[in-house]
Every structure is written in structure tokens, then in C-alpha cells.
Amino acid sequence: MRHRGRHRRRGRGRALRAGLAGTAFALTAAATLISTSQAAGGDTPGPLTALTSPAEIDDFRLRESLTGEPALDTLTDAMGGGVTVHEVLRDADHPMRNEDDCSDSERSALPVEPTATRAYCWDTDDATTQEWLPRSVTTSGDADEDGTWGGDRVILAGWTHNDRRAGEPAADRGLARVAFIDASDPDDLKYRWVLLVAPRDGGRDFDPVRSRAGGMVWYQDKLIVTASTGAAHDDALFVFDLDRVLRTDVSDDAVGRVDGGWSAHHHRYVLPAVGSYRPPGGTCTAAHGDAAPCFSSLSLDRTSVPHSLVATEPAGSTGSTGSTGSTGRSGSGDDAPARVWRYPFSTSADRTGLLGADPFGRIDAVEAYETDAAGARGVLSHRHPGAEEADWYVGGTHENLGRHGTLWRQDEDGAEAAECTADGSRACWGRHTESLSYWQETGELWTLTERPDAPSERVLYAVPLASVDEALD
């Protein structure tokens, strides 16, 4: 049986969230903020409580800045024209290992309950490298409702440079790249790396995008990626156009124009940014409730009207830099909650994949929440058929990194998590999981694991969302 109250009206929440009435589940500017109590792998976070402070809601406002078409065209022409996603996939040069070929330590990072129905491990060098860290995942199931892109089934995985590794060159700090994974044959996944860059000098050169890549959503022809390194100009969401992948012709440490052509830190392909979304007041901070939040993880909600971008900030943060968290910000204490919220996507035909900005380029959150689920990282919002409101799934990492995490399902009636059969605890989710992505066409919930001190536990896996709900019920 579904958890109590799911199909009944919630009086207090309904009054405060009139924009989400009935089956329309429409998003409006009548935003709200919701909080829960602190929860670890055992204690429930408790019911959601609505807050209505306009000042707190205003903190989520973003301002859109798009790169001019002339600069993008200049760069594209200078690099010999664009490359399609299909061409990148056909050039995949790294095989992924199926679950049976994963090591025991890699399989140990998989969830206990519910179990993964599909799991893959990275090519040997990427599985063990300390130079790069896996952070986020999105799929062609996000991009298009039929689950494919140009006939291909694709998974994109965001990785960031490990800035805490001793001896790394300063020029490499914050580098971000994306694994374009050809998933058309579920028994033979393979991928190619693409470096994230930003045009400069009117498109006559490009620089690397400095990003923790903690969140990533592929919607229509755009890829939105978190970019938070602690520098004020990088605290934002960056937007990339999947129709503008470009090919380099020089393999060098440098990033940008070099003697003889174009280089991208030994990457064959680059994806240039076409815009960004930033807090109008400048850099973000995780001083919860009174400042623009820092982005940690992203996901797409196709069950909202219009479709929406869901975001979260790291749990227990203070806004300081150089941490081990998803955005590089350290936690000051277990009592600090994390906010989760959503922005609507534009429905204009000439703004595919972009957020719903007003004529002045402003984007406001239409719904916002606060959660104290311990170690909150990935977040997903999904409204099940027949339900009045969306459920919020929050993946948490256990304070003991050697243990499994917890996946909570939260709403205004309470919170639930699977109970492990073996020990009765709720630490049943994957170890150190990152962002969440729901593949609507297949019903699968995708995520990946990342643990800087144990790269041998990196794995990409899928669990049917129906199995998650069954385990919770």
C-alpha cells in the first residue's frame, strides 16, 4: 500500500501551493519553502512543513546570460564545423565492464535493497584514477520522452578534476569532462570523453569551464551543468548545446587555440558553453535561508507542467571552499539543512532546453524545500499517476563512508526508506552515490557512486523506480 495520505488532499500544503492543484500539477510563481527534521540512516526525516517567506524564495532567483550566435558560429567555423552526438558515440574508445566483470569491491558499492537491475564499471584506467572523480549522470531519457537521441540510447556522466590530489598543476584545477556513453546495446556499453569549455574573445578561442560537475541535466538539445568552484564568476549553472560538439586537432596539455590548431587537454572533443544562469547578487553561499544557494546536484522532472529542473545544495554546508562535498563546500555540522527546489523549463519553440525566463532574463524558483536528510546529495522529484503531489527522493551518504547510504522518499506526510533485510537498518542504498536521473521510458532510476579515497568502488547502475517504491512500501 502506498504511504498514507498520498491520494488525499493536504490542507495546509494545498493552501500554500495552489499552483500545484489537481492533476494539472502546474508550476506557478506561488513558490513555497518546506523543511524537515534531521535524519540519518536510521531516524526518519519526518513530515514536510511549509514555510512562506518571500525573502527566502527570492534567494533562488537566477539571471540568464546567453552567448551570442556570432561568437558560437565563429568558433564552430574555426574548428571545422560541429560534430553530432552520434559521431562522438561512433568514436567511443573506452569499453565499460558489465556487472559480472566488475570486481568484488566495485560490486560492494551497489545497493542492498532494492538491488540494481543493471550495473556497469568503468574502463580500467578510469576505474582507478585519482586524477578524475565521477559526479553526475543524465540520459537521453531526460533529453527526449522516447528515450533516444538521434536513434541512440545515451548516458552522459559528468566527471571533475580531483583538485585535492597532491601535485596537480594549477591549470588543471576544476577541469570538467563528460563521458558520452553509447548505451544502445545494454551488453556492450562504451564511451568517449568530451571536455567542457567556454568561448572567449568573440569565439576566436576557448577556456576550460571550471566545474565540480555535481549536477547535470540533458533536456531537449541543451545540457545544464553545475559550476561551483568557489570563484564568484563560476557559481552558476552553465548551458551547453548538444548540437555544437566540436573536434580538436592537437593533443596537448593546453586548453584552447595553440600553434597548429586546437587543443583540449588531450581530449578529442569539446562542448562549448552557450550560456549561464547566475544569482543576480553574485557568488552563492550555503548560509541557508538568507542567501543564494550553491548548486550541488540536478535532475529533471517530466511529471510537472511544465517540465522542471530540480536542484539541491549540499547538506550541512557553510559555504566554505575546498571540501570533500559534491560542490567543494565543507559542512559545519550535522544540524545544517539542505534546500531543494525547482525551476520551470521554457515552453517557447525558440528556447528549447532553456529555463523559463521572464522578459528581463530572470528565473524564479516555483517550488522550494528544505531537508535535513543526512548527507543529502542526489535529489529527484516525481509525481506518480493518480497522485496529487510529487514525491521527493533524496539520496544520502552515510557519515561512515564504508557503509551504504539511504534513499529517502519524502512528502508532507513523512519520509520512508527501505529497510535492509539483513540488519534492519535503512542504510540500503549505494555507497557514496551522487546525482539521480529518472529514465521515464524505461522506468529506471540511474545513479553512480564516487568515493575519492576508494576509487575501486566506482559503479554506474540502474534500479527500477517501481522497485524503489515497493521496497519503501
Residue-by-residue pLDDT tens, the chain, 473 positions = 344 334 333 333 333 333 333 333 444 444 444 433 334 344 777 666 554 678 878 888 999 999 999 999 999 999 999 999 999 999 999 999 999 999 999 999 999 999 999 999 999 999 999 999 999 999 999 999 999 999 999 999 999 999 888 888 888 989 999 999 999 999 999 999 999 999 999 999 999 998 889 999 999 999 999 986 444 444 689 999 999 999 999 999 999 999 999 999 999 999 999 999 998 876 777 655 567 888 889 999 999 999 999 999 876 543 333 333 333 333 334 456 778 899 999 999 999 999 999 999 999 999 888 787 767 789 999 999 999 989 999 988 777 667 899 999 988 788 899 999 888 889 999 999 999 999 999 999 999 998 777 778 999 999 999 999 999 87
Distance of alpha carbon 434 from alpha carbon 158, whole angstroms: 11
Question: In 3D, which of 263, 246, 131 has the Cα closest to residue 207?
Answer: 263
The closest alpha carbon to 191, from 95, 264, 85, 86, belongs to 95
Enter the C-alpha cell of residue 308. 522542471
pTM confidence score: 0.89
Q: Total domain count for the chain?
A: 1
In this structure, is residue 216 part of a structural domain?
Answer: yes
Q: How far is CA 118 from the centre of its chain?
A: 20
> Does 2 fall in a domain?
no
Question: Which residue's C-alpha cell is 584514477?
Answer: 129
Decide if 192 is inside a domain: yes
Q: Does a structural domain hold residue 124? A: yes
Q: 10 Å Cβ neighbour count for 260?
A: 9
Q: What range does the domain containing 280 cover?
A: 11-472
Look at residue 5 and tell me if it is in a domain: no
For residue 49, count CB atoms less than 10 angstroms from its CB and return exposed for 0-12, middle for 13-18, buried for 19 or more: middle
Does some domain include residue 221? yes
Please, are residues 391 and 384 in contact by the beta-carbon 8 Å criterion?
yes
C-alpha span between 325 and 398 (Å, rounded): 13
User: Can you tell me the distance from the alpha carbon of 259 to that of 298, in angstroms, rounded to the nearest whole number?
Assistant: 38
The reply to whether 27 falls in a domain is yes
Q: Residue 3 falls within a domain, yes or no? A: no
- Order across the sheet with 460-464: list the strands: 97-98, 118-121, 460-464, 444-449, 433-439
